[in-house]
Amino acid sequence: MNTAVTRRGAATGGALEGMRVIELGQMVSAPYCAKLFSDYGADVLKVEPLGGDTARRWGPFPGDRPDPEASGLFQFLNTNKRGVTLDVTVEEGRELFLRLVSEADVLIENNPPAWVREHKLDYGVLGAANPNLVMVSITPFGQTGPYSGWKGCDLNAFHLSAAGHRYCGKPGEAPLEHGTFSADFYGAVTAASWGLAATLGRNRVGGGQQIDVSCAEAIGATFVGGQNIGGYAQDGIFDRRTGVGMGQSAPASILPCKDGHVWMLMLEPNQWDGFVTAMGSPDWATPEMFRDRSFRGENKDLIYALVGEWTAQYGKIEIMEVCQDAGAPVTAVLTVAEAAEHPHLIERGYVVEVEHPTLGKIATLGAPFVLPASPGGPVTAAPLLGQHNDEVFGKELGITDTEREQLRDRGVI
């Protein structure tokens, strides 16, 4: 892979330097939320069960050979963190966890609410150990309500929000699945935003609090939003799937071209004018009536057939560049490989390399938000399983070598 290693900045000296965060989570939502803290300078300690985060077994793996230290998903989600192993379900482990939490600013977790209560790790217990603690809890359906105890993963949350019914699939046919982990990532970003707000606002409210983030509600508010759920609540009207393109205008869809596909969206008259110029001003496209987006929407079958004849002659990058030069919002539909090596992302420092203890240099994504005065981004790779046990339990908690060995023998750390 041809990647640049220019970083947007180091975690050290980042905007959140000095903040202490504990992560008790697995897979995507809690780890990505914690990554947003760690990549901007917070000291994030990832607490894993003795068998490791489930993401370590998820992959993808180099050469398709399973290795808990080489999972691509785990490596992406856990940069700049320290890591320990600890069984918090046993009394000794829970007591050690409470000691860690007592010195933390934020705890991020995505465990089932019933599991948290069963093991006495709920906010009532943790808040008593640290009254300033902000506990960020991310679950598919939230901490309360009739579904709070239901089993569910990312796509369960996504489809409970009505987003699948609204957007995915053709009209009159079964809804389709969405991209994996959309709800988890949206929930994670929501949780990071308001977890940080609660941390900064502790003086105002007189201490910490628990932030209850439902991934389904995060998707409902963003993917579906007031235009649909709010509109239905107000007058019983909501938008439905349109299949190919948008009903209000055309072209407003993905169209095939010589080497793939392009996405185009012409709503305003000046956008249509630019698009016509990019196509070489064909006679069929110049009449004034085509400048009206409603007219184009009503005649979209004709529009797509004629535009498709033009796109079929050119490559997607060529189409994108000539349309953008003319002021028409057209974008090439990139493959994953093309996006990973795209010069725009590389020039912005969004593809970076970090050094892994066993894998060597590995590529990953940089900080998703640019803070020029206090930049962030991956500097260290995800921790090995239990990599910082001696540092944290020994140097920081003062547990002797002999005591740590006994804890290992008893399966606590």
- 173 and 129 within one domain: yes
Q: Per the domain annotation, does 324 fall within a domain?
A: yes
Per-residue pLDDT for 177 more than 90?
Answer: no
Ordered strands of the 260-265 beta sheet? 252-257, 260-265, 330-332
Q: Beta strand pairing status for 260-265 and 330-332?
A: antiparallel
The answer to whether residue 246 is domain-embedded is: no
In a domain, 341, yes or no: no
The domain spanning residue 384 has which CATH number?
3.40.50.10540
Answer whether residue 13 is part of any domain.
Answer: no
359 and 319 inside one domain? no
Q: How far apart are CA 356 and CA 381, in angstroms?
A: 5
Please indicate, yes or no, whether residues 92 and 201 belong to a single structural domain of this protein: yes
Percent of the chain with pLDDT over 90: 71
How far is it, in rounded angstroms, from Cα 297 to Cα 287?
A: 15
**Are 112 and 28 within one domain?**
yes
Q: How far is CA 212 from CA 68, 157, 160, 209, in A?
A: 30, 15, 17, 10
Residue ending a domain, choose from 272, 302, 333: 333
Residue 64 has what DSSP assignment? G
Mean pLDDT across the stretch 120-144? 97
Whether the Cβ atoms of residue 31 and residue 46 lie closer than 8 Å to each other: yes
Residue 236 lies inside a defined structural domain of this protein: no
Same domain, 59 and 190: yes
Q: Is 274 found in the same domain as 148? A: no
Looking at 299, 333, 367, which one is the last position of a domain? 333
**CATH number for the domain including 275?**
3.30.1540.10
256 with 238: CB under 8 angstroms? no
Residue range 180-222, pLDDT digits in tens: 899 999 999 999 999 999 999 998 989 999 999 999 999 988 8
Whether 3 maps to a domain, the answer reads no
Is 318 contained in some domain? yes
What is the domain extent for residue 259? Answer: 252-333
Residue 10: its pLDDT value, please?
A: 43
The average pLDDT across 134-155 equals 94
Residue 100: predicted pLDDT? 98
The verdict on 77 and 205 lying in the same domain is: yes
Question: For all residues of the chain together, what is the average pLDDT?
Answer: 91
Q: Are residues 105 and 141 in the same domain?
A: yes
- Residue (of 137, 141, 129) closest to 195 by Cα position: 137
Q: Do 184 and 135 fall into the same domain?
A: yes
Same domain assignment for residues 322 and 263: yes
Please give the full DSSP string across 261-306, using - where no structure is assigned: EEEEE--SHHHHHHHHHHTT--GGG-SGGGGSHHHHHHTHHHHHHH
Residue 257 resides in a domain: yes
Tens-place pLDDT, residues 58-84 = 989 999 999 999 999 999 999 999 999
337-386 tens-digit pLDDT: 998 888 998 888 888 899 999 899 998 988 888 888 888 899 999 999 99
pLDDT tens across 238-275, in order?
Answer: 777 766 667 678 899 999 999 999 999 998 999 999 99
Asked whether residue 290 falls in the same domain as residue 359, the answer is no
Q: What is the pLDDT of residue 245?
A: 67
What token pair was written down for 73?
């998903």
Q: How many domains in the chain? A: 2
Same domain, 305 and 174: no
